[in-house]
Amino acid sequence: DGGLHATEVLGAQQLMELVYRMVSRSDPETLRILDEVILLAVQVNPDGMELVSDWYMREADPQQRSTRGLPVLYQKYAGHDNNRDFYMSALAETTNINRVLYREWFPQIVYNHHQTGPSGTVLYAPPFRDPPNHNLDPLILTGLDGIGAAMHGRFVSEGKGGATMRSGGSYSTWWNGGLRTTPYFKNMLGLLTETIGNPTPIQIPFRPERQISQGDLPLPVEPGEWHFRQSIEYSQTANWAVLDYAARNRDHLLFNIWRMGMNSIERGNRNTWTVLPFEVDAAATDLGGGRSGTVDDYRRLLQAPENRDPRGFIIPSHQADFSTATKFVNALLKNGVDVHRATMEFAVDDVTYPAGSYVVKGDQAFRPHVMDMFEPQQHPNDFAYPGGPPIPPYDNAGWTLAFQMGVEFDRILDGFEGPFELIEELAEIPSGVVVGAGAAGYVFDHRDNNAFLALNRLLADRHQVAWLLEPPVGVDLPEGAFYIAANQVDRSRLMTLATETGVDFYAVVAPSGETLRLRRPRVALWDRYGGSMTSGWTRKILEDFEFDFEVVYAEEIAGGDLRSRFDVLILEDGAVPAPGGRGGGASAGASGVPAEYRDRIGSITADRGVPEILDFARAGGTVIAVGSSARLGYYAGLPLSDHLAENGRSPSRTEYYTPGSVHSLKIEHDSPLTHGLGDRLDVLFNNSPLFDLEPGAETVGVTRL
């Protein structure tokens, strides 16, 4: 591929050079590759590449050109995060690539080009450091070793020094979600190179520790000036090493992808146990003192019957938020997973499931991905040395998508069958229904995420909708249901909404308890010059659910008078500086910035922006502060303290470190904000602030949710 991260300009440049050489060269090696290998050369992010190219070429003087200071994200919503979308497939570009990889072509090798290389080297190439993901077939690891050896061998044979591997970088085979890593869970060999280079010459620094040959850096490179052409040539060496390996090992690669698929199918048809690090640690403790155990100990400690892997998963269709469960299923389908739908009611293990339920079995070629989307990950405790600082994982430590999306499912430990049909394309959210007529009004369920889509469409049509603070009478729905009077809307309109959104509407008597009348909020979403990825993702959510919103920047916020224009201000991670710190995010100078982007320059600071945000809140506005921006509470003088601080000092990252992981939170049901939630909520947590409430906090309105 090339150009996934558009500012890493080497990716697109090397790709064009590769295609040119493949179609123009007639040497024996190239002709053999053309005979034995099918090459798909893909510009993964074409819009972003055009944006970056135009920005770079805006300067007439080549010496003044740079990709720095790009005013917007190079992927409309995600920017650099487009390489974290591959199991979710929320972006159009990701969906296109996933269709090619997992539904049409099924390649044996996926080579993902990135920048930049580790300091003092030219590039990083496989094999990767530990730990591997525990769901992967071992042939993935041995396959990466084989291709990596071919790549490094070719660099050395051509006298191209500076290629490092394994401990030379942070890259591993643990994480699922990237263009290079998600293929592992589909029995494909995902390759990554991270290479230095820029159209403007750069300097390779002198790093003494990188000047001696070792296993993970066989041939060092001398420091000095480095030109872009050299990076392109290194990329071609890597490309040709991979293509040559594929040509010479065609039968081997084809057999292995078949073998891995068959391994998965066979594992899904018998009892298996995935050995996980915490269980190994517990077994070692049980045996005590580093002793070895017996086969019986092995069976007792690592193969308890109740801990065996599921044979499959059932997603019941009668769950409250089945629309989100269907979106989860579509993420699986976009990734090539086989999903079935029940054509009628059926029973498994004395549990009856309704028609329309989804069934995901483990006896399929992409079983590693299935397990990784349903089962929790266990990243091993990874320290530099006993008692030393943690070694951060390459990306997230945990991510189970079914947990993140709140999908209700059952783990089925034994083989099962039923009246199931294979879903060939994407699953449609089942149409909702309008139940009853002639009543005072209709209610619909707060627990269904698509209820907010229906709600926004009703509010956009100027219908009056209320939020019930007590359960409605005559319908089995909890508090928080939405109510619309029958004289406010035609039943035919509700039938259309039910078909469009999958939301059910129930005829009920008029509510007698307390209600909240709703209106469409005027939403402001913070962003910054260059674009915030977290703000971009939120923008996509707001668009998908049809909220009215406006993007605002630091200078506009600092201008005040926010309350006259907005009801809600969303401050994403990175918007608010730490008390005593600098502004949230780097700012560009106005020089060289086109006029249409200059109003985006600047950052929120303690003196400019924070006071205006607090004024907005005091005037009745709602501020949603996400991640690090929750530090706004300190500026507001709320009775909060840092939960992790000792003697007024926050711990360093070597003392406390929580990489992206799914945490289970306990929910306190004392506020309408928790309507629609159960007693527990799974959330992805990544080093956000943790607060203690000071004594008396609840008396001034500061409460836990």
The residue out of 518, 549, 579 marking a domain boundary is 518
* 257 lies in the same domain as 139: yes
Structure token digits, residue 249: 């090992």
* 685 lies in the same domain as 655: yes
Asked whether the beta carbons of 250 and 37 are under 8 A apart, the reply is: yes
The residue out of 468, 488, 518 marking a domain boundary is 518
What is the residue whose two structure tokens read 């007698």? 512
pLDDT at 388: 87
* 508 lies in the same domain as 589: no
* 539 lies in the same domain as 681: yes
The residue out of 422, 442, 467 marking a domain boundary is 422
Asked whether the beta carbons of 97 and 41 are under 8 A apart, the reply is: no
In a domain, 94, yes or no: no
* 245 lies in the same domain as 366: no
Buried b (16+ CB within 10 A) or exposed e, 314-332: bbbbebbbbbbbbbbbbbb
In a domain, 51, yes or no: no
pLDDT at 583: 56
Over the chain (705 residues), the average pLDDT of each successive run of 10 is 96 97 98 98 96 94 90 98 98 98 98 98 98 98 99 99 98 98 99 96 97 98 98 99 99 99 99 96 92 96 97 98 99 99 98 99 99 97 88 94 98 98 98 95 98 98 96 95 96 98 98 94 98 98 98 98 98 94 59 92 97 98 97 96 89 86 94 93 93 92 87
In a domain, 64, yes or no: no
* 594 lies in the same domain as 669: yes
Indicate which CATH number applies to the domain containing 572: 3.40.50
In a domain, 2, yes or no: no
In a domain, 398, yes or no: yes
Provide the whole-model pTM.
Answer: 0.96
Q: How many separate domains does the chain show?
A: 4
pLDDT at 588: 59
In a domain, 91, yes or no: no
* 540 lies in the same domain as 597: yes
CA dist 512 to 435, 474, 601, 674, 675, Å?
Answer: 21, 12, 51, 22, 19
Q: Please state, as a whole number, how many other Cβ atoms lie within 10 Å of the Cβ of residue 626.
A: 18
pLDDT at 270: 98
H or E stretch including 661?
A: strand 661-666
* 316 lies in the same domain as 463: no
In a domain, 5, yes or no: no
* 494 lies in the same domain as 406: no
Q: Which amino acid is at 641?
A: S
In a domain, 411, yes or no: yes
* 507 lies in the same domain as 542: no
Please report the sign of the dihedral spanned by the C-alpha atoms of residue 116, residue 121, residue 126, residue 129.
Answer: negative
* 408 lies in the same domain as 507: no
CA dist 533 to 263, 424, 529, 539, 699, Å?
Answer: 39, 33, 11, 10, 37
- The residue range of the domain holding 401 is 308-422
Question: Which residues lie across from 568 on neighbouring strands?
Answer: 523, 622
Asked whether the beta carbons of 358 and 329 are under 8 A apart, the reply is: yes
Separation CA 341–CA 427 (nearest Å): 9
* 649 lies in the same domain as 549: yes
